[in-house]
């Protein structure tokens, strides 16, 4: 694989950029692999990369029904943070933040990780108490988080309206300075390129239509649009469609799938220096490097596999954005889109072995799994390679919905971006 560097860029600039090679190979599927990963989003591609790099498994295929990053990886608003309440969550998400910090160097690919700070607004006394509890819990776990007064919040984010008579008055904010954003599709492409260079076969336009089990119940392989492919280990990493795939192996999942929407404005000069989230009104906003304001909305109230989402969700979000940032009320929106998110009862992910030997599942990230991409992929690769969870993902097992040992970030935050 060719190294990307300032020298390579200069050389190509002098010869009309004709020397760049394909970023990843597009081979025909083999009849058998050691491991098949279903889903070519960031989590699936990252899992394949760490399996090859850290566990020496080289005969791996990633099967993607569409194009790489065409699922939620390429549809999210890219917020990265690790200020979750419970110890288990802080360990998982902060593992990811630590990997984000060196990911561009690790992959030799600019994933544009930008730790510009994530500020979470408190609009009522309950929010103030909840966020201050988060700050104390985070600090005990070595995760940075600090309390800002409304004036300090405005100094950090000048467009913020802190008028006391606002519909959603700002009573303070929790700031995680190491939080921020990254370029989502570059994360998929960077992992794909690095995995392909280690021998992983990445096969796009290859939908899995069945998961076959042998007479002993263990996984034998998958049926696809391009025929049967054998493997004794299969990892399902299919976000909003995880329960559909697991059903193919006869496993019923504690998941509900909802459309979640986002939208961007027309591009403007840099006006917004950080990420601001309001859980209470469920709106969040940052500015992309292209200049668009990137705005995230909430989920629909009803489960669905339609990638459109309801209009009232968008109008409610824009109401809130205009109230909190009056300067943006005359901006035009450029486009909106939706993705299907897979939501667990406790709003924490599932990174787990399953009752079926050789079948592993990474799902349930709901509205907030992009931030976890490197950490999730890293520990899931360990789980598949060792047939046992990494200590960080051991609590995020499927069994917890039977035993009751939930990691209840739903009650802690009521939102999970
Ligand atoms: C609008 C929106 C905003 C979001 N904002 C944030 C945010 O700000 N921060 C954050 O942390 N998270 C956010 N998220 C959540 C985040 O995007 C996801 O949790 C994360 O990207 C999931 O990654 P993944 O690789 O598991 O899934 P995906 O990227 O969806 O990859 C799964 C892949 O599986 C493929 N697949 C499905 N069925 C099959 C099949 N039968 N055969 C083969 N392939 C199949 C799909 O095509 C897809 O490419 C947001 C999500 C949405 C929709």
CB distance 138 to 144 below 8 Å: yes
Q: How far is the CA of 71 from the centre of ligand 1 (A)?
A: 5
- The Cα–Cα gap between 105 and 89 comes to 26
Q: What contacts 267, CB < 8 A, 6 or more positions away?
A: 288, 290, 291, 292, 334
Structure tokens at 73: 């990886």
Per residue in 120-172, pLDDT (tens digit) is 999 999 999 999 999 999 999 999 999 999 999 999 999 999 999 988 899 99
Per residue in 252-262, pLDDT (tens digit) is 999 999 999 99
Per residue in 314-349, pLDDT (tens digit) is 999 999 999 999 999 999 999 999 999 999 999 999
Which amino acids bring their CB within 6 angstroms of ligand 1?
38-44, 63-66, 70-73, 75-79, 207-208, 237-239, 241, 245, 260-262, 296, 339, 341, 365, 367-371, 417
The pLDDT value recorded for residue 346 is 94
Question: How far is residue 34 from each of residues 59, 209, 289, 414, measured CA to CA in Å?
Answer: 5, 19, 40, 40
CB atoms closer than 10 angstroms to residue 93: 25
> N- to C-terminal Cα distance for the chain?
35
pTM: 0.97
Q: How far is the CA of 65 from the centre of ligand 1 (A)?
A: 13
Dmax over CA atoms of the chain, in Å, equals 67
Asked whether the predicted pLDDT for residue 411 surpasses 70, the reply is no
Let me know if 315 is exposed, middle or buried by CB neighbors in 10 A (0-12, 13-18, 19+). exposed
pLDDT tier at 1, thresholds 50, 70, 90: confident
CB distance 221 to 149 below 8 Å: no
Question: Could you give the count of Cα atoms lying within 13 Å of 307 in the half-sphere of its Cβ?
Answer: 11
Mutate which of 64, 65, 71, 83 for ligand 1 pocket (most atoms within 8 A of beta carbon): 71
Q: What contacts 271, CB < 8 A, 6 or more positions away?
A: 159, 287, 327
């Amino acid at each position: 694989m060719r190294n990307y560097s300032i020298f390579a860029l200069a050389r190509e600039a002098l010869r009309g950029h004709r020397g760049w090679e394909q970023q990843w190979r597009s081979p025909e599927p083999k009849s058998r692999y050691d491991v098949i990963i279903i889903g070519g989003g960031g989590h699936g591609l990252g899992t394949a990369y760490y399996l090859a790099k850290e566990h020496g498994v080289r005969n791996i295929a990633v099967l993607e029904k569409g194009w790489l990053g065409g699922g939620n990886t390429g549809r999210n608003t890219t917020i990265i943070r690790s200020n979750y309440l419970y110890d288990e969550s802080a360990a998982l998400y902060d593992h990811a933040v630590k990997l984000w910090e060196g990911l561009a160097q690790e992959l030799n690919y600019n994933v544009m990780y930008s730790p510009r700070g994530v500020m979470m607004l408190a609009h009522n006394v309950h929010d103030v108490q909840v966020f201050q509890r988060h700050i104390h819990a985070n600090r005990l776990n070595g995760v940075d988080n600090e309390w800002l007064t409304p004036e300090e919040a405005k100094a950090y984010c000048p467009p913020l309206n802190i008028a006391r008579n606002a519909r959603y008055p700002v009573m303070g904010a929790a700031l995680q300075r190491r939080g921020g954003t990254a370029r989502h599709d570059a994360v998929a492409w960077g992992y794909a390129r690095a995995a392909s260079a280690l021998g992983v076969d990445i096969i796009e336009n290859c939908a899995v239509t069945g998961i076959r089990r042998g007479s002993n119940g263990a996984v034998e392989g998958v049926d696809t649009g391009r025929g049967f492919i054998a493997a004794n280990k299969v990892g399902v990493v299919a976000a909003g469609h995880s329960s559909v795939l697991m059903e193919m192996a006869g496993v019923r999942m504690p998941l509900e799938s909802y459309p979640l929407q986002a939208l961007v404005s027309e591009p403007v000069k840099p006006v917004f220096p950080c990420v601001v989230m309001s859980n209470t009104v469920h709106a969040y906003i940052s500015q992309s490097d292209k200049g668009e304001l990137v705005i995230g909305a909430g989920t629909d109230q009803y489960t669905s596999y339609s990638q459109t989402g309801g209009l009232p969700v968008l109008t409610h979000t824009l109401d809130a954005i205009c109230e909190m940032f009056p300067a943006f009320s005359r901006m035009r929106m450029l486009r909106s889109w939706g993705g299907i998110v897979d939501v667990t009862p406790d709003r924490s992910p599932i990174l787990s072995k399953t009752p079926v030997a050789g079948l592993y599942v990474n799902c349930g990230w709901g509205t907030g799994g992009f931030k976890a991409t490197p950490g999730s992929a890293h520990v899931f690769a360990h789980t598949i390679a060792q047939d046992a969870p990494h200590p960080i993902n051991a609590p995020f097992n499927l069994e917890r919905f039977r035993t009751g040992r939930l990691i209840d970030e739903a009650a802690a935050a009521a939102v999970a971006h």
